[in-house]
């Protein structure tokens, strides 16, 4: 099965793409190698690290555990589409301003996860932020600055 | 049903069953959270996939006329975790779902996929055994139901036969009382090192308790003898004895989450903590 290529249409960051990929290809594979959208990272390829996190119809998903064939009509949002027409989204600016980035490998996943959180809850408290980020691993920062960035965006420590 | 180069999309349970019967090497895909990880790691290479996403009857939680509940196999952990109608003794099912992994994995994983996979470290198996849930299974011959305690049979093995699938989990109506799920994990979101699921209600004959331990053997551990000790008006010696019995019945492994010896030490302690908390909660209500 994995050898046979199949055609599908994916809506990524508002644009339709026709892709030809093996039936067992993950969304992450298709984004990175098929569409050249390399912002979503492959850290572990089994759901643990969160570096590949994207939004499907606004909901968080691991693109490494999602088959491209299973995306269907759901709209995919990746880090490349997160700021829309702006240079940076509010979440991205908050991370930059707090110095919450070191090597940056985990950052796309954190940005997506925080974007989903702030869309649901514009003023999350520290515990809500920590719980929301618990599925994203960062090997460099120790998390403190990332949580601080989110707290600043939420309007200070509550 | 649409078929697209190795991916079948049945619209009904009957269609799904007939594909499985025809193609024994096809694999069901629900949330994909485990299946796709296994494909990525080249542990499996399924001949075809059967996606259950388009089978309407498998989605969602419905109340039965008797006050019990039917949780469709495709119901995401997120939806069970958000279910506020699971009150009293059933609260443990909602709690178990809310402690699975993290928000992103809870958006993807399903109750049917989890229990069919039957990893002993999962949160649902002990919760469903303690809640005395029934697993609804479909095959070419129709539907059958099994108590959760008979569904989980060994390490990663269930009572499912070939060309069968899980269609739902049935919960009996909640009793007034307490349902608790406690999970000890190295960090938030990890699989359990040991977990305990417990229901307790009180009646004229004292309390009635049902406890199941997770992640300490191939299947959840529930002992009628331990439940009897924990029911009526148990004191400290009954609680200790029940903990000893459960620890003796456990068959834990040594792994990165803890040694077998450590897990055996945790069993009576986790049991005692859950029991004491449940008893205090019941006491506060009577
Ligand atoms: C990073 C990570 C962390 C996790 N942490 C936890 C945790 O802390 N606690 C926990 O409990 N779980 C945890 N899980 C497991 C997860 O929650 C899912 O329960 C699990 O992945 C299976 O659900 P699924 O719907 O994704 O199944 P799938 O991956 O789609 O399928 C799993 C298996 O079941 C079969 N199958 C699927 N549906 C059915 C059906 N209806 N009938 C029969 N067979 C079927 C498939 O063929 C496959 O073999 C974690 C998973 C990941 C990736
Ligand atoms: S690459 Fe998907 S979670 Fe790590
Ligand atoms: S900044 Fe390097 S992994 Fe997070």
**Number of domains into which chain B is organized:** 2
Q: Do B103 and A1 touch (CB under 8 A)?
A: no
CATH value at residue B44: 3.30.43.10
Q: Among B6, B7, B105, whose Cβ lies nearest the Cβ of A135?
A: B105
Residues of B in contact with A67 (CB under 8 A): 7, 29, 32, 36, 49
Residues of B in contact with A2 (CB under 8 A): 39, 45
Check whether A156 has a pLDDT greater than 70.
no
Q: What is the C-alpha separation between A24 and A5, in angstroms, rounded?
A: 9
The answer to whether position B277 is within a domain reads yes
CATH value at residue B219: 3.30.390.50
Q: ipTM for the complex? A: 0.90
Check whether A158 has a pLDDT greater than 50.
no
Closest-lying ligand 1 atom to the alpha carbon of residue B38: 29
Parent domain of B38: 1-54
Q: Is A69 on the interface with B (CB under 8 A)?
A: yes
Q: What is the DSSP letter of A64?
A: G
pLDDT band at A157 (very low <50, low <70, confident <90, very high): very low
pLDDT in tens, chain B (286 residues): 677 668 899 999 999 999 999 999 999 999 999 999 999 999 999 989 999 999 999 999 999 999 999 999 999 999 999 999 999 999 999 999 999 999 999 999 999 999 999 999 999 999 999 999 999 999 999 999 999 999 999 999 999 999 999 999 999 999 899 999 999 999 888 999 999 999 999 988 899 999 999 999 999 999 999 999 999 999 999 999 999 999 999 999 999 999 999 999 999 999 999 999 999 999 866 5
Q: Do residues B148 and B129 lie in contact, with contact meaning Cβ atoms separated by under 8 Å?
A: yes
Mean pLDDT of A19-24: 88
- Any idea of the CA torsion for B25, B136, B76, B52, to the nearest 10 degrees? 40
pLDDT band at A24 (very low <50, low <70, confident <90, very high): confident
Mean pLDDT of A138-150: 95
Q: Is A132 on the interface with B (CB under 8 A)?
A: yes
Domain boundaries, chain A: 5-81, 90-154
- State how far residue A100 is from chain B, nearest Cα, in angstroms: 21
Nearest residue (by CA) to ligand 3, atom 2, is: A103
CA dihedral (B222, B226, B231, B235) positive or negative: negative
The encoded tokens of residue B20 equal: 């499985």
The encoded tokens of residue B135 equal: 């697993």
Task: Find the B82 Cα to ligand 2 centroid distance in Å.
Answer: 25
The answer to whether position B50 is within a domain reads yes
Q: Is A33 on the interface with B (CB under 8 A)?
A: no
The encoded tokens of residue B83 equal: 């279910």
Closest-lying ligand 1 atom to the alpha carbon of residue B33: 26
Closest-CA residue of chain A to B35: A65
Pick the CATH number of A90-154 from 1.10.150.120, 3.40.50.300, 3.90.1150.10, 3.40.50.11270: 1.10.150.120
Q: Do A65 and B47 touch (CB under 8 A)?
A: no
The answer to whether position B280 is within a domain reads yes
Architecture of the domain made up of A5-81? Roll (3.10)
Task: Name all residues whose Cβ lies below 6 A of ligand 2.
Answer: A 42-45, 47-52, 62, 64
Last residue of a domain, one of B37, B54, B71: B54
Q: Which pTM was predicted?
A: 0.95
The answer to whether position B232 is within a domain reads yes
The answer to whether position B28 is within a domain reads yes
Q: What is the C-alpha separation between B148 and B163, in angstroms, rounded?
A: 19
């Amino acid at each position: 099965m994995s050898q046979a290529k199949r055609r599908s249409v994916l809506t990524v960051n508002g644009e339709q793409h026709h892709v030809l990929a093996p039936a067992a290809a993950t969304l992450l594979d298709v984004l990175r190698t098929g569409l050249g959208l390399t912002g979503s990272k492959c850290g572990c390829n089994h759901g643990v690290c969160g570096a590949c996190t994207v939004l499907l119809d606004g909901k968080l998903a691991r693109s490494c555990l999602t088959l491209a064939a299973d995306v269907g009509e759901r709209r995919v949002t990746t880090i490349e589409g997160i700021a829309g027409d702006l240079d940076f989204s509010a979440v991205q600016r908050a991370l930059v301003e707090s110095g919450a980035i070191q090597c940056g490998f985990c950052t796309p996943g954190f940005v997506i996860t925080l974007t989903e959180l702030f869309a649901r809850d514009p003023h999350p408290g520290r515990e809500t932020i920590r719980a929301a980020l618990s599925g994203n691993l960062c090997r460099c920062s120790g998390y403190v600055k990332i949580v601080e960035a989110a707290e600043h965006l939420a309007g200070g420590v509550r | 049903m649409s078929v697209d180069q190795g991916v079948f999309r049945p619209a009904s349970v009957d269609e799904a069953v007939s594909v499985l019967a025809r193609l024994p090497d096809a694999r069901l895909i629900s949330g994909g959270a485990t299946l796709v990880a296994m494909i990525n790691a080249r542990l499996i290479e399924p001949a075809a996939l059967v996606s259950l996403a388009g089978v309407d009857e498998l989605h969602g939680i419905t109340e039965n006329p008797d006050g019990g509940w039917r949780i469709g196999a495709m119901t995401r952990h997120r939806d069970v975790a958000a279910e506020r109608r699971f009150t009293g003794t059933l609260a443990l099912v909602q709690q178990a779902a809310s402690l699975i992994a993290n928000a992103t994995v809870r958006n993807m994983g399903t109750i049917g996929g989890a229990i069919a996979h039957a990893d002993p470290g999962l949160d649902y198996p002990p919760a469903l055994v303690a809640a005395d849930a029934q697993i609804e299974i479909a095959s070419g011959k129709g539907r059958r139901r099994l108590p959760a305690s008979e569904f989980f049979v060994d390490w990663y093995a269930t009572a499912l036969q070939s060309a069968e699938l899980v269609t739902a989990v049935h919960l009996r109506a909640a009793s007034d009382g307490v349902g608790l799920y406690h999970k000890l994990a190295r960090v938030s979101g990890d699989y359990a090192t040991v977990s305990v699921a417990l229901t307790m209600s009180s009646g004229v004959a004292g309390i009635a308790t049902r406890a199941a331990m997770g992640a300490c053997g191939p299947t959840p551990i529930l002992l009628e003898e331990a439940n009897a000790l924990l029911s009526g008006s148990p004191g400290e010696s009954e609680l200790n004895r029940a903990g000893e019995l459960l620890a003796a019945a456990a068959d834990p492994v040594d792994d990165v989450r803890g040694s077998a010896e450590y897990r055996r030490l945790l069993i009576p302690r986790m049991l005692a903590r859950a029991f004491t908390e449940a008893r205090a909660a019941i006491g506060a209500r009577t």
